[in-house]
Amino acid sequence: MRKAVFILASLLLLTTVHADVGPKPSAAFHVKLDGVDVQDEHFYAAMLGCDNITQEKLEEVKNYTRLSHPALWIEEYDDSKLCTWYPATFAWGGDCQNRRCDFTYFLPSQFRLAVYIPSINRTFITREATRENFNSRFDVELFSDGRTEIHETNMTNETMTSFILALVATVIVELIFSFAYIKWRKLQERILISVVIANLVSVTLLWIALPLFEELSFLLCCLPLIFAEVLVVLLESGVIYLLNRKRIKIADAFMMSLINNLATFLIWVLLLFVSLFALF
C-alpha cells in the first residue's frame, strides 16, 4: 500500500514539474512614431489575441486582466477570422520606456499590438503579426495618419544566448542535486558525467519543441506541457541508466531525474514569484 501511494504521489508531482525550465518566451518591440523613436519617456502597450469568446466571458476576462493603461482594453470583432481581438491575459508587460516594450510569459503566436501614446492621447493597433521565434524582436512603425507597420527582426544571437544560459543553469542545478543523491545512495561519482549528457539531450530537444508545445497549450490547456515533462524525466533517467548499467539501478536513475527536475521547478517557482512581485 505504501509503495502504491508513493508511486501515485510521484506521478502527481510529475504533472506539476516544469523540467529544464529556462527563460519564458519573450517579445520585445522597438516603437517609432512618424519615423522617429517614440519621444514619451513612458508609454504603454498590450498584445492582443483573437478568440471566439462570448460577451459575458469577455467581461469576466476584463476584470482580471492587468493592463498597463485603461486605454488598452480593446474589443474588436474580426469578420474574416470569426473571433474577437482583446488583450492577452497572460502576456505580461507593456510598461514601455526608452522606445521599447517588453512582454513575457504566455504570449499569443498570432497577435496584434496596441500602443497608447500619452503625449498625443492616441491608441494605435497594428495589423496581425506572427511570432516565429521563442524569443522575438519586432520593429513597429506608427504614423499620425493611422497607418502601422510591424515586422520581426533577427534574434539568432539572442536565442542562442538564452539557450546556452538555460542549459548552463539547468546543468548546474541538476549536478548539485545529483551529487547529493549520489552521496546519499553511496553511488559512484562518475555517474555525474551521464547527468550532463542527459541534460545536453533533454534541454536541446525541449528547446526545439517549446514553440510547438506553447502553441498546443492554448488549445489543450496544460496537457502538452504535462506530456513534455513526463518525457523529459523518462528521457533523462533512461540516459543516466543506459550509460551506467553496472553502477546504478533503474529506480535510482528515475528518482535522481525526478528530484533534479523537481529542483528546477521549485527554483522556477521562486523566480516566478520574484518576477510577479517586481511586476506588481
How does pLDDT run across 196-240, given as a tens digit for each residue? 999 999 888 877 776 665 555 544 455 666 777 788 899 999 999
Q: What is the mean pLDDT of the chain?
A: 82
- Phi/psi for 109 (5° steps) reads -70, -45
Residues 14-30 pLDDT 10s: 333 344 444 578 899 99
Q: Is residue 14 part of a domain?
A: no
Give pLDDT, residue 181. Answer: 94
Q: Structural domain of residue 214, as residue ranges? A: 157-279
* Domain assignment of residue 33, yes or no: yes
Report how many domains make up the chain: 2
Same domain for 149 and 63: yes
- Is a pLDDT exceeding 60 seen at residue 50? yes
Residue 13 lies in a domain: no
Average pLDDT over residues 43-58: 92
Contact status, residue 58 vs residue 48, Cβ threshold 8 Å: no
User: What digits encode the pLDDT tens for the residues 136-160?
Assistant: 889 999 999 999 999 988 655 566 7
Nearest Cα to 191, choosing from 247, 272, 146, 115? 247
Cα of 54 vs its chain's centroid, Å: 27
The reply to whether 3 falls in a domain is no
Report pLDDT for 19: 41
Q: Are residues 125 and 180 both part of a single domain?
A: no
CATH number of the domain bearing residue 40: 2.60.40
The reply to whether 101 and 31 lie within a common domain is yes
Domain assignment present for 144: yes
Q: Which residues contact 29 (CB under 8 A, 6 or more apart)?
A: 45, 96, 100, 101, 102, 103, 113, 137, 138, 139, 140
pTM: 0.56
Residue 213 has a pLDDT of 58
185 and 236 part of one domain: yes
Structural domain includes residue 21:
no
